[in-house]
Structure 1
Amino acid sequence: MEYLKFCFVFSCWMKFATSLSSTETPQTPAPIPPEKLLVLTVATEETDGFLRFMKSANYFNYTVKVLGMGDPWKGGDVGRSIGGGQKVRLLKEAMEALAEQEDLVVLSVDSYDLIFAGGPEEILRKFQQANHKVLFAAEGLIWPDKRLADKYPSIRSGKRYLNSGGIIGYAPHIHRIVSQWNLHDNDDDQLFYTKLYLDPLKRESLNMTLDHKCQIFQNLNGAVDEVLLKFASDRVRVRNTVYDSLPVVVHGNANTKMYLNYLGNYVPNTWNYEHGCSHCDDDTVDLSQLKEYPNVLIGVFIEQPTPFLPEFFQQLLTLDYPKDKLNLFIHNNEVYHEKHIQRFWDENRNTFNSFKVVGPEENLSQGEARNMGMHLCRKDATCDFYFSIDSDVMLTNRQTLKLLVEQNRKIIGPLVTRHSKLWSNFWGALSLDGYYARSEDYVDIVQRKRVGVWNIPFMAHVYLVKGTTLRNELKERNFFVLEKLDPDMALCRNAREMTSHREKDSPSPESFHMLRPPKGVFMYITNRHDFGRLISTANYNISHYNSDLWQIFENPVDWKEKYIHQNYTQIFTQNYMEEPCPDVFWFPVFSEKACDEIVEEMEHYGTWSGGRHEDKRITGGYETVPTDDIHMKQIGFDKEWLHFIREFISPVTLKVFSGYYTKGYAVMNFVVKYTPGRQAYLRPHHDSSTFTINIALNNKDTDFQGGGCRFHRYNCSINSPRKGWSFMHPGRLTHLHEGLPTTNGTRYIAVSFIDP
C-alpha cells in the first residue's frame, strides 16, 4: 500500500515538474520575415555617398524609403558644430503613418557615409537576439556633451556611448521615441537621443539598449584599428577583431569617411579574389553606340623641366580619339621648353579643334594655371570632359582617353607608376594631417595584383573630370588654391570635403563626432589596363645641348625607347646580326635620334683633338695612333656611356663570345670625326682592348662618301657602315685593322676599348 502511494505521488510530481518546465522555458521566437523590415534614411541630395548606400541596399534587397530628398538642408553645419535635428523631424513625420504596425521593424540609418555588409535576414536575427525593442548603434567616444559620460550605465565590455547614425526597433517604439521631438531642425539629434537613453525610466519603458559589441552597427570613428576585411569565397565582410563580430551596417562617421571609402571598394562583394571587380562595368558608356564622341578639353601642364617632352607630345598625338573632338590648352612654365612647344605648334596647330598656349611670360602659379585650364571647360557648355595631364606622364596606351570616358565617373584617373618603383599618381590613404599614408591594398593595386576601379582620397598628374561635374559640384573657380597645400592636394581636398562654404581653420577634433557627411565627389583610379608611366624629373639637368641623353639612370625605359634601335631585341629573339668578317659582329644598337644627338652634343662642345700624338687627356700624354676625337668624359657623359655598355653591349658580348663575361669597363670612350680636310683615315693598328665596339653615327652616301674598316689578317673590308649599327671585334693581336679614307663629307663613329 505504501508503495502504491509512493508511485502515485512520484507520478504527480513528475507531471508537475514537466508542466512547470514547459511553461518556464522560453520558446525561440519565430524569425521576423525580411518584408517586415523597412529602412528609413534622410538624404536631401543624391551625392556619390548616397548612391553608394543605395547600391549596397539594393544588393541585399532592402526596402528603403528616403526622407527629405530635394528639400533644403536646414540641419546646420554639423561638420563643424552640433545639428542634424532635421533628420529627427523627418523621421517623426514618417513614423506617424507607421505607429500602429506592431510587427514592423524600422531601421533608421544615415546614408551619405554608410554601407550595408549583410542582408535583412541577418540584421533581423541579430536584432531578435538582442532581446530589446529598440537598439541604438554604439561607439567608444562620446558626443556632443562629454559631461554626460558619467550618466551612462556601466557595462562590463563593449562600447558605452550612443551613436544616432543607426537605430533599429519596432515601429511603435520608434514612434514613441521620435514623437518626443519638439526642437528645431538645427538642434542636435544625437543629444536628443542621448538624453532619452540616459533617463532610466524612459530607457526601461521604451526597452532601449545599445549595440555594445557591434553585432549590427559598426561605427568607424575611434575604431579603425579594430576593423579588418574578411575575404570569403562568396563575399567580403567587415570584421570587428575586438568582439569577433561581423557588423551588418558600417558607418564612416566623423573623420573616417576615407576609410569607409576603402572598405567600400570591397564591401559588399564589390571586389574579391575569386571574381575580381564586380562593379567595374556598372553604368559604363559604350562609345561605339554614341552618334558622336564627347568633346574633351586636354589641359597640359609643364611646370618644371621635364625629360622626353617631344615624346610626350607624340603620345598625345597618337591617342585613339577623333582630333576634331579635342581642344588643347597648354601651360608652360619653363623657358627651356619653348622650343619644343613651338615645334609642336608649328606641326599640329590645325590638328586639334582648338589650340591655346600660355607661356612663362604670363607668370602664373601652378594653382592659377590649373584653375584657368579647368575653367575653360567649365564655362563652355559643349565641353563634356576635362582631361588634365602633366608633362611627366608618358601615356603608352592609345585607348586611354576612350577607356576613361567609358568608365563614366565624375573624376577618374588612369594608374601610372614610376618604372620599377612603387611611386604612383595616387594615395590609398591619408595620415591624420592629410598627407600620404599607405593603405593595405596600395602595393597590390600598383602592381596590378588587384585590378579594378578604386575609390581613393588623392590623385595627381593625370585625371578626367566630367564637364557637368565642373558646372555643378565643382563650380567654384579656385579649386587648386587652398591654404598652404600644393595644387593637387587642394583640388582633392576640395572635392572630398566640399560643403556649401569652406573655412580657413580646420574643425576641432571634438567636432568630428557627428559629422554631416560633406557633399563630396568620389575620385577613382583605374588599373584595369596598363596605361603608361611617370617620368622622374628630380635630377634633370638642362645645361646640355641634348639633356635627355643623360637620363639613362633616372628614366631607363624612356631612354631605351628613344635611343636604342627598334630592332635591338631581335638580336636575342631572331639572331638579328651579321658576321661580315671572322669574329667581327655587326648589329643594331642606336636609334637615329641617339646618333644625331650624340653628334650634335660633340659639335656643340666643339673642341676636337685634331689627331695629334700629344694628348694630355690620356695617361702618359702620348697617343700612338691618334684620332680627331672628343672623349665622353669631356662632355660629362662617361658614367652614362659605361652604363650603356653594361646594359646593351654586354648581353651581345655574351651571345657572340660564348663563355666570356665582360666587366663592361672601358677607359677610352670617344667619338671620332673623319673629314678629308683634317683626318680622313686611320692607319693599321691594334686596339688595347679585349674587344672593341665601333658605332656608325651617320649615313654613308648621304652625309659622307668612302669610309669603312679593313681587317688585314682576313683581308676583309666593311665598306658600307649603317647608321646606328655597331661592329664588335676582338682587340689586341688578332684583329689588326685600319679606317678607310673618307673621301667627302664628314663621318662620325663612337668607339670604346672595352676590358683593356
Structure 2
Amino acid sequence: MISHSIFAIFLALISSAISETNDDILVFTVASEPTDGFQRYLSSAHHYHIAPTVLGFGQEWKGGSDIKNRPGGGWKINLLKTALEPHKDDPTKIILFTDGYDVIFTDTLDAILRKFKETKARVLFGAESSCWPDVQLAPKYPQVTEGKRFLNSGLYMGYAPDLWQVLTFDVIEDTDDDQLFFTKAYLDEDLRKKVGFKLDHKSEIFQNLNGAVSEVELFEVKAKEGPEEYKIQNVLYHTVPLILHGNGPSKLSLNYLGNYLANSWNSVEGCVRCKEGQFDLKNKRANEMSLVLLAIFVEFNTPFLEEMLSKVYSQEYPKHRIDLFIHNAMKFHSKHITDFIEKHGSEYRSVKDIKPDDGTTEWAARDLSLAQCLSKNCDIYFSVDSVAHLDNPHTLRLLIEQNRTVVAPLLPRPGKAWSNFWGDLTKEGFYARSNDYMDIVHNDKRGLWNVPFIANCYAINATLLKKFDETKLNFDRDNWDADMAFCANLRDLDVFMYVSNRVDFGHLVNPETFDITRVEPEMYQIFDNEQDWEARFIHPEYPENFNPEKTSLQPCPDVYWFPIVSPRFCTSLINMMENFGKWSDGSNKDPRLEGGYEAVPTRDIHMNQVGWEKHWLEFLRKYVRPLQEHVFLGYFHDPPRSLMNFVVRYKPDEQPSLRPHHDSSTYTINIALNQRGVDYEGGGCRFIRYNCSVVDTKLGWLLIHPGRLTHYHEGLKVTKGIRYIMIAFVDP
C-alpha cells in the first residue's frame, strides 16, 4: 500500500519544495528503501518545504547487518562525502544531515539555520545521555555543566569546509560504525577546536529521544487564524527542538509524537496526514478489485458469533475477489461455521475450513493463513477474530483505501475503555496506556494513529508478506499470545501499525462470562454484551413505542400493548424453561415461595430456577420501566421491584386456564412467547370488570396493566397445543 504513495510524495518534494534558505543550506539523508518511517520523514519535510537529497535510495544497504543492535552505518558517511565534495570549499554553504527512517522535522529550515548560527558552532552534532558504541570512551569526553554529554550521529550540521574536514579526518569502511567515527573525531581536541566542533547539549535544535523520553512533551501553538500546530518542548532544558530523532529503543515514543507533529493532526481539520496516499475504490470495476484473503479465527467460545459472521458476509466487497480461510478451535461453534459455509461458501473465490478436530493451534493456524494468502496470490490479508463485529459494511473497503501497510479499524467494547489497540507498551512488551488513549477510544479525537499493538481485526498489504519470509513474519514468539508475537515482529521490522477511528467501524464483544454449559447462553449476556443482546433479543419496533406521533395501543381500559422482545427471545426463553423441565404441579403448595403457599397457582418455572433472575430484573429496569412511565404517568420506581417472575405453561390436559384473580402487584406484565393459531388455540386474558378480552396476542408483545383492585382478570382456556407467557408482578 505504501510503496505507490512514497514515490509520489518524494517527487512532489523534489519538484515543489520551497525555502527562502535553499541557497544557504543543503539537506541530506540516507534511505535505501521506502519504509513507513521514511514516508513519515518525507511528509514532515514536505510540510516545512524542505527538500532533502536522498542518498542510497533504491540501492542495497551496505552499512552492515542488524545495525539496530550492532555497530554499523559507515556507508552513510561515505555516501555523504561523495555528495558533499562539490561543496567542500564553499564557506557559505551549510550542510544538514539527518537519518531517514526515525526522524521528524518540527520546524522550517529558516528556524533551524537561525538557531544554528546562534550556537556559534561551525559543526554541530546532536547529543545524548549514553556513550555508544564504545562506553570506554566516556571518560575522554569534555565535562559539561548542563545537558547531554555524548555525541549522537543521527542529526548534525555544519559549514561545508569544516564538516568536510570532520568527514575526512580518517578512512571508514561501509560496515564500520558511523557514531564511533564521529566520536573519535570529536574527541580529537585539535580537530574539535580547529573546526568549531560542538554538541547540542540542551537540544536547542536536535532532540535525540533515547534516554530523554521523559523530558519531551507536546504543546500546542495557537494560530491567529486556522488550526493549532503541535510542537515539542524539552521541559528539562526549556528548549523547543526543531528536529526529532527516535534513536535506539525510543521509536515507540517517536511514533506517538509523530501522530501530531508536522501538522499530522489538529483539532480543526482532524487527521491531516490520513489523506496522504489514500485512494477511492468506488468507481473500480469488481474484477479489478484487490484479491483479499479473509481469515476468520474462532479461538474461544464467543457470544453472538452468528451475528459476527453475518456482518462479515455483509461487507460490501465482491465475494468472488475474496478467498475465505476459517480456523475454528471450538466444537460449540461447529454448527455456526458449517451453516455459514453451506449458506454462503459458494459465493467466495475459495474456502479453507480448519475444524476443531484437526487440532491446529492458534499460532499454527494464523501462520497458515499468511501462507494461504501467498498461495492465492492475494493483494490484501484481512484478519477478523470472532469477537470483532464489523457493524460498518464498508470496513474492508475503507481499510484498503486507507493505503497503509498495516491498518486496523478501531473496535472498542461498548461503553468500556477496552479496545483492539494499545497506545503504549511497558519495557516488557505488555499493555500501557498512552496519554491520548482515552481520547481515541472514545472518539474525542478521530484520525489514523500509529500505535505499537493491534489485534482482532486488521488489513495487511500482501507486499509485506512477500518481502519477509515466515522466519521473520509469524505469530510464534517466546510463548506470547499470537497477536502480541506478531506485533512484536512487526515492530522489529520497523513496520508501522495504524488504527483508524476516522469513522465508526464496529465493536468487540466480551467473551469472558460466556458460559456454554447453559442452555441459550447468549440470553445471559445482557450485562456484558448489552448492545449485542439488545440487537438479538429486543423487538426491532421497540423504539417506536416512544414515538410522540404514535398512540399506544390499548385493547382494554388501562391495558397497554407494546412490542418488546424478538421472536428469538421468545424461543430462547421457552427452550431454557423446557430444558430445565421442572414445572410446578399447579397446586397451592409451593415450596419455592416464602410461606410455601400460592393462592392462585399456575404451572410455571421461576426465573431464579434457571439462574436468570438478575437478568430479568435488568430487563425490567431498562426496557419495561420506561414503558410503564410512558403510559402510567406520575409513577416512578427505579429500579422496579419484582419478587414473582416466571414463565407459565398452559396445556389442555395439564392446566388449560386460570381462575379469576387480582395480581399481587402495582402493575403486571404479560409477554406472549408463542403464537395463537400457530402453536395453540384458545387462550387469552379477560378483564372481568370491563368485560374485555385480549385473545389475539402478538408474539413478543407485552401487555401491561394495573395489578390490584381495578383489573380483576382470568386466563382463558387453551383448547389445543401449548401456550407460553412470561409474567412478572412488579412492585408488590
TM-score interval (norm. to shorter): over 0.9
Greater radius of gyration (CA): 1
Partner of residue 58, structure 1 = 46
CA drift of 1:243 comes to 2.1
Q: Which amino acid aligns with 1:734?
A: T
Q: For residues 645 and 46 of structure 2, what CA distance do their matches in structure 1 show?
A: 70
Q: Are the counterparts in 1 of residues 87 and 160 from structure 2 also a CA contact under 8 Å?
A: yes
Q: For residues 90 and 701 of structure 1, what CA distance do their matches in structure 2 show?
A: 87
Greater Cα shift, 36-45 or 569-578 = 569-578
Q: Which amino acid aligns with 1:724?
A: G
Q: Are the counterparts in 2 of residues 34 and 124 from structure 1 also a CA contact under 8 Å?
A: no
Residue number among 564, 567, 572 corresponding to 2:538 in the alignment: 564
Partner of residue 594, structure 2 = 619
Partner of residue 479, structure 2 = 484
Greater Cα shift, 304-313 or 467-476 = 467-476
Partner of residue 185, structure 1 = 174
Q: Which amino acid aligns with 1:348?
A: H
1:79 aligns with 2:49: no
Q: Are the counterparts in 2 of residues 105 and 169 from structure 1 also a CA contact under 8 Å?
A: yes
Residue number among 31, 50, 53 corresponding to 1:43 in the alignment: 31
Residue number among 207, 212, 217 corresponding to 1:228 in the alignment: 217
Q: In 2 relative to 1, CA 255–478 (structure 1 residues): closer, same or farther, beyond 3 Å?
A: closer
Q: For 1:642-657, what aligned pairs fall within 5 Å after superposition?
A: 642-657=617-632
Deviation readout 1:391-415 (Å, 9 max, x if unpaired): 1111111111111111011110000
Structure 1: 5+ residue runs without aligned partners? 1-30, 499-519
Partner of residue 670, structure 1 = 646
CA drift of 1:620 comes to 2.5
CA drift of 1:183 comes to 3.0
Q: For residues 449 and 361 of structure 1, what CA distance do their matches in structure 2 show?
A: 45
Q: Are the counterparts in 2 of residues 535 and 555 from structure 1 also a CA contact under 8 Å?
A: yes
Q: In 2 relative to 1, CA 396–632 (structure 1 residues): closer, same or farther, beyond 3 Å?
A: same
Residue number among 712, 729, 732 corresponding to 1:753 in the alignment: 729
Greater Cα shift, 135-144 or 146-155 = 146-155
Q: For residues 442 and 227 of structure 1, what CA distance do their matches in structure 2 show?
A: 18
Residue number among 196, 200, 220 corresponding to 1:207 in the alignment: 196
Q: For residues 416 and 439 of structure 1, what CA distance do their matches in structure 2 show?
A: 17
Q: For 1:586-597, what aligned pairs fall within 5 Å after superposition?
A: 586-597=561-572
Q: For residues 63 and 603 of structure 1, what CA distance do their matches in structure 2 show?
A: 75
1:271 aligns with 2:265: yes
Partner of residue 523, structure 1 = 497
SS at match of 2:86: coil
CA drift of 1:478 comes to 5.5
Greater Cα shift, 620-629 or 405-414 = 620-629
Percent identity (aligned)? 45
Q: For residues 177 and 58 of structure 1, what CA distance do their matches in structure 2 show?
A: 29
Q: For residues 523 and 349 of structure 2, what CA distance do their matches in structure 1 show?
A: 34
Partner of residue 464, structure 1 = 459
1:161 aligns with 2:150: yes
Q: Which amino acid aligns with 2:37?
A: G
Q: Are the counterparts in 1 of residues 472 and 489 from structure 2 also a CA contact under 8 Å?
A: no
Greater Cα shift, 318-327 or 726-735 = 318-327
Greater Cα shift, 629-638 or 526-535 = 629-638
Greater Cα shift, 252-261 or 41-50 = 41-50
Q: Which amino acid aligns with 1:285?
A: F
Q: For residues 340 and 398 of structure 2, what CA distance do their matches in structure 1 show?
A: 26
Greater Cα shift, 283-292 or 726-735 = 283-292
SS at match of 1:210: strand
1:723 aligns with 2:719: no
Q: For 1:486-505, what aligned pairs fall within 5 Å after superposition?
A: 486-498=481-493
CA drift of 1:154 comes to 2.3
Q: Which amino acid aligns with 1:309?
A: L
Q: Are the counterparts in 2 of residues 321 and 401 from structure 1 also a CA contact under 8 Å?
A: yes
Q: Which amino acid aligns with 2:512?
A: A
Q: Are the counterparts in 1 of residues 169 and 185 from structure 2 also a CA contact under 8 Å?
A: no
Deviation readout 1:517-564 (Å, 9 max, x if unpaired): xxx211100001111111101111111221100001111111111101
Q: For residues 27 and 92 of structure 2, what CA distance do their matches in structure 1 show?
A: 14
1:245 aligns with 2:243: no
Q: Which amino acid aligns with 1:75?
A: G
CA drift of 1:33 comes to 3.1
1:544 aligns with 2:533: no
Q: For residues 380 and 635 of structure 1, what CA distance do their matches in structure 2 show?
A: 49
Q: What RMSD, in angstroms, separates the aligned Cα atoms of the two structures?
A: 1.6
SS at match of 1:35: coil
1:287 aligns with 2:307: no
CA drift of 1:744 comes to 1.5
SS at match of 2:190: helix
Deviation readout 1:556-588 (Å, 9 max, x if unpaired): 111111101111111123446311111111111
Q: For residues 544 and 343 of structure 1, what CA distance do their matches in structure 2 show?
A: 22
CA drift of 1:601 comes to 1.4
Q: Which amino acid aligns with 1:690?
A: T
Q: Which amino acid aligns with 2:691?
A: N
Q: Are the counterparts in 2 of residues 107 and 169 from structure 1 also a CA contact under 8 Å?
A: yes
Structure 2: 5+ residue runs without aligned partners? 1-18
CA drift of 1:752 comes to 0.7
Q: Which amino acid aligns with 1:374?
A: L
Q: For residues 561 and 133 of structure 1, what CA distance do their matches in structure 2 show?
A: 69
Q: For residues 474 and 98 of structure 1, what CA distance do their matches in structure 2 show?
A: 43
CA drift of 1:136 comes to 0.8
Q: For 1:223-622, what aligned pairs fall within 5 Å after superposition?
A: 223-232=212-221, 233=223, 234-291=228-285, 292-381=288-377, 383-473=378-468, 476=471, 479-498=474-493, 520-574=494-548, 575=550, 577-622=552-597
SS at match of 2:714: strand
Q: For residues 594 and 34 of structure 1, what CA distance do their matches in structure 2 show?
A: 71
Q: For residues 183 and 463 of structure 1, what CA distance do their matches in structure 2 show?
A: 44
SS at match of 1:677: coil
Q: For residues 665 and 629 of structure 2, what CA distance do their matches in structure 1 show?
A: 16
SS at match of 1:185: coil
Q: In 2 relative to 1, CA 632–467 (structure 1 residues): closer, same or farther, beyond 3 Å?
A: same
Q: For residues 188 and 451 of structure 2, what CA distance do their matches in structure 1 show?
A: 42
Partner of residue 67, structure 1 = 55
SS at match of 1:97: helix
Q: For residues 402 and 568 of structure 1, what CA distance do their matches in structure 2 show?
A: 32
1:129 aligns with 2:124: no
Greater Cα shift, 50-59 or 588-597 = 50-59
Q: Which amino acid aligns with 1:42?
A: V
SS at match of 2:274: coil
Deviation readout 1:404-453 (Å, 9 max, x if unpaired): 11101111000010111111100111111111111111111111111111
Q: Are the counterparts in 1 of residues 465 and 473 from structure 2 also a CA contact under 8 Å?
A: no
Q: For residues 390 and 721 of structure 1, what CA distance do their matches in structure 2 show?
A: 41
Residue number among 91, 102, 111 corresponding to 2:100 in the alignment: 111
Deviation readout 1:42-66 (Å, 9 max, x if unpaired): 2222211112112211222223112
1:34 aligns with 2:34: no
CA drift of 1:465 comes to 0.8
Q: For residues 267 and 23 of structure 2, what CA distance do their matches in structure 1 show?
A: 32
Deviation readout 1:322-376 (Å, 9 max, x if unpaired): 2222222111111111121122222222232222211111112111111111221
Q: For residues 590 and 51 of structure 2, what CA distance do their matches in structure 1 show?
A: 90
SS at match of 1:373: helix
Q: Are the counterparts in 2 of residues 474 and 495 from structure 1 also a CA contact under 8 Å?
A: no
Q: Are the counterparts in 1 of residues 409 and 505 from structure 2 also a CA contact under 8 Å?
A: yes
Q: Are the counterparts in 1 of residues 473 and 490 from structure 2 also a CA contact under 8 Å?
A: no
Q: Which amino acid aligns with 1:330?
A: I
Q: Which amino acid aligns with 2:173?
A: H
Q: Which amino acid aligns with 1:396?
A: D
Alignment TM-score, normalising by the size of structure 1: 0.91
Q: Are the counterparts in 1 of residues 206 and 245 from structure 2 also a CA contact under 8 Å?
A: yes
Partner of residue 672, structure 2 = 696
